Structure 1
Amino acid sequence: MSPEVGPPRVGLGCAQLGNLYTAMSDETALACVETAWDAGVRYFDTAPHYGLGLSERRLGAALRGRPRDAFTVSTKVGRLLERNLHPTGRDTEGFEVPDDLVRRWDFSAAGITASVAGSQERLGLDRIDILLAHDPDLRPATHAQFLAEGAPALEALRAVGRVGAVGVGTNSAEAAYEYVTSADLDVVMIAGRFNLLDHSALDGLLDECARRGISVVNVGAFASGVLANPTPSAASHFRYELASPEVLARVSAIAGVCAAFGTTLPRVALAFAASHPAVASVTLGASRPEHVRRNVQLAASPQPPAGVWGALAEAGLLDAEVVERLRLGSPG
C-alpha cells in the first residue's frame, strides 16, 4: 500500500460540472473550480459517468496550467464510454447532456485500461492520482467481475505507476467492507452512509479502514441536500429523492437543537461527517461558486459547541452509542 495517499481534508465533488440534474455554463464550471482553488481546495473528484465525460473535460480545462504536484484528482472506472449508435438526444441518467456517448459496464482489465486512457485524455493529465472502481456492487455481474478482474487490474496499474492510489467508490457500506477485506485498496469513497441521518458506515467499514490504513473520502455529508441549509425546505432531497415529511420533521428538530446552541445544521453535519479518524476528506459538490465558497468556509469554521451532541442524543435525534463511539464533544 502506498503511504500518504489520502486526499486533503476538503474536496470538491465535480458531478455538477457534468450538468447533474441541470445544465451549467462552461464559465460557471470554471468559476466553481477557481473558487475552490482560491479557497485552498486541492482535491477534486470526477468520473466518466458525470455528464458522459463533460465533468472530466471541464475539470481538466480548469486545472490546466496549475502546478501538477499541487493538486490531487480522483476519477473512476467501470462505466466505459463508447459512441452511441442510437442516440435519442439527451442522456437518461440524470445529466443534462447530449447522449452522443453511451456507458457500458466493464470492470475487466482491458476495460479499465481503456477507461483510464480516456480519462487521461479528457483531463489532460499524465497520471491519475486516485483511481476508484465506480459502483461495482450495483449489479451481481459487475460485483463478481470487479473482485475477479477489476481489483487485480487496479493493483497492477498502481504497481507500474499509471495511477498513484486505487480504491472503490460506492453507496453501500456493506459492499465497501467486502472490497476492503478482499483487495489491496488505498482509498474508499463512501457516499451517503456516514452523516447525521445514516450511520451505516460505522457498522464495520470505518473501523476496518482505520485498522488497515485505508483513507476514506466521505461524500454525502449533507445527505443529498436535506442537511445543507439551516432549516430544510419541502424541496429538500434525501438519498437523491424528495425528502419525506418524516425526514423533514427529524431534520427540522435537529436544526432546532443546533440553533439553541448557537450553531447551524450544516456546520454540525460537516463536523459529524469528518468525525471518524479514517475520514481523510469530506468532499462536497456545488453548482455555483458561492456554494463552493460557503462550503469551504463552513468546513473551516469553529467546531460546534460540545454540548450539542449530547443534546441531540437526549432528544433521540442522534444515537447515544454513536456519540460515545465517536467521542463527540469529548476533549481531543
Structure 2
Amino acid sequence: MIQLPRHGLGTAPIGGLFQALTDEQAKATIDAAWDGGVRLFDTAPHYGLGLSERRLGAALAGRSGYVLSTKVGRLLVPSSRGGRDDEGFDVPATYERVWDFSRDGVRRSLEESLGRLGLPQVDLVLIHDPDAHVDQAIAEAYPALAELRAQGVVKAIGVGMNQWQAPLRFVQETDLDVVMLAGRYTLLDQSGLPLLAACAERGVRVLAAGVFNSGLLATPEPSGTFDYAPAPLPIIERARRLAAICERHDVRLPQAAMAFPLRHPAIAAVVLGARTPEEVRTNAALRQRPVPDALWHDLRAEGLLQEA
C-alpha cells in the first residue's frame, strides 16, 4: 500500500495558472516546499500544457523519498494556432488538449508525462476530470490503470475531480486506491460527505485539494474567487462569519481551512497549490499551529459546519 504524506504541493500554479512565472520562480517554490518537509507532489498534463510536469521533474531531479502523482485523460497535441492558452493558464498555446480516456490514450498520456517529468515511473496516476466521460473512464481508463498497477508500473491509481458524485461511482464500481476531491470538503462546502463515507467503508484514501475553494479561504480576511469564479455575496458573507469565529479562537481562516479536512478519517492528505516560496512558507507555518476543538464546536453550533 502506498504511503501518503499528510501534506502535498499542488503544482497547477507553477504551470502558470492565471499568471505566468519563470522557471526560476517555479523552482524556488518547489524548493521551499521541499525544505518545509513536503514530500507529496501533484501535477498533470493539463497544468500549463505540460509545463508543470517539466518544471516539477527538473526541480525534483536527484531527489528521492517523495510521492509524485500525475493524471491521465487529456492528451497534448501540437497546435499551430498561436496565441495564449484559453483554459486559465498563462502559457503559449503550443499544444491543444484532447480528451482521451481509452486504454491506448491512458498509456500514451502516462508515457508522455514520464518524458516531461524525466522519470522512469510515478507513484500515483489519477483519471482527471472525466465529468463528461464517466462511462468510458470506468470501462476503459480504469482497467488500463489497473493493469499498470498489477504490472508494478505504478503503485496506486485513482480519480481526481471537482465533484463528488462521479468519484462515488468509481469507488462503488472499481477498485481504486485514491480519490482526489477538490473543493467539496472544505469549510465552505461539505457536500462531499457521501463520497467520504463510501471511501472510509471501502478503504479508499482521499486527497483533499482545493481546500481554499480557489482563494476565498486563503487569507485571514476572505477575498478572491470561489471555485475559480467571482464569489457570490452569500458565500462571501458565510466566509466572513467563519473568519470571525476563527478570530475568537486565535485561529487564522486559512489555518482552519487546512486543518478541517484532516479531521475526517477517510482523508489522508491535504494538497495545497502555491505560486511563491512565501505562500509555501506561510502555509507551512499556519498548519503547524494547533486548532482548538472549541473552534469546531462553535462552527457546528452556528450551523456553519457539517461533519461525519
Judge same fold: TM > 0.5, yes or no: yes
Give the drift of 1:316.
2.8
Q: Does 1:32 align with 2:29?
A: yes
Superimposed CA distance per residue, residues 273-332 of structure 1 (whole angstroms, 9 cap, x where no aligned partner): 211111111000011101011112222221x2221122222223224xx2xx3xxxxxxx
Q: Is the 8 A contact 1:109 1:153 kept in 2?
A: yes
Q: Is the 8 A contact 1:50 1:95 kept in 2?
A: yes
The CA RMSD measured in Å over matched residues stands at: 1.1
Among the aligned pairs, what percent are the same residue? 50
The 3-state SS of whatever aligns with 1:125 is coil
Structure 1: 4+ residue segments shifted above 3 A:
none
Task: Provide the residue aligned with 1:201 in structure 2.
Answer: 192
Task: Provide the residue aligned with 1:52 in structure 2.
Answer: 49
1:228 maps to a residue whose letter is A
Q: TM-score, normalised by structure 1?
A: 0.90
Alignment length (residue pairs): 308
The 3-state SS of whatever aligns with 2:260 is helix
Structure 1 stretch displaced more, 107-116 or 207-216: 207-216
Superimposed CA distance per residue, residues 32-79 of structure 1 (whole angstroms, 9 cap, x where no aligned partner): 110000000000000000000000000000000112xx0110000000
Q: Is the 8 A contact 1:6 1:215 kept in 2?
A: no
Q: Does 1:230 align with 2:217?
A: no
- Within the candidate set 236, 239, 243, 1:248 is matched to 236
Once residues 122 and 159 of structure 1 are traced to their aligned partners in structure 2, the CA distance between those partners, rounded to angstroms, is 24
Superimposed CA distance per residue, residues 81-116 of structure 1 (whole angstroms, 9 cap, x where no aligned partner): 1111x4131111010111111111001110011101
Once residues 23 and 279 of structure 2 are traced to their aligned partners in structure 1, the CA distance between those partners, rounded to angstroms, is 17
- Within the candidate set 18, 22, 35, 1:21 is matched to 18
Task: Provide the residue aligned with 1:329 in structure 2.
Answer: none
Give the drift of 1:197.
0.9
Alignment of 1:138-177 (within 5 A): 139=132, 142-177=133-168
Shift in CA distance, 223/6, structure 1 to aligned 2, threshold 3 Å: farther
Alignment of 1:60-99 (within 5 A): 60-67=57-64, 70-84=65-79, 86-99=80-93
Give structure 2 stretches of 5+ with no counterpart: none
Once residues 72 and 293 of structure 2 are traced to their aligned partners in structure 1, the CA distance between those partners, rounded to angstroms, is 41
Task: Provide the residue aligned with 1:328 in structure 2.
Answer: none
Once residues 96 and 185 of structure 1 are traced to their aligned partners in structure 2, the CA distance between those partners, rounded to angstroms, is 33
The 3-state SS of whatever aligns with 2:87 is coil
Task: Provide the residue aligned with 1:315 in structure 2.
Answer: 302
The 3-state SS of whatever aligns with 2:123 is strand
- Within the candidate set 204, 229, 235, 1:214 is matched to 204
- Within the candidate set 273, 277, 280, 1:285 is matched to 273
Superimposed CA distance per residue, residues 135-163 of structure 1 (whole angstroms, 9 cap, x where no aligned partner): 112x1xx2121111111001001111111
Once residues 274 and 110 of structure 2 are traced to their aligned partners in structure 1, the CA distance between those partners, rounded to angstroms, is 25
- Within the candidate set 147, 169, 175, 1:178 is matched to 169
Once residues 158 and 298 of structure 2 are traced to their aligned partners in structure 1, the CA distance between those partners, rounded to angstroms, is 37
Give structure 1 stretches of 5+ with no counterpart: 326-332
Q: Does 1:101 align with 2:88?
A: no
1:80 maps to a residue whose letter is L
Superimposed CA distance per residue, residues 231-271 of structure 1 (whole angstroms, 9 cap, x where no aligned partner): 113xx111111112221111111111111112111111112
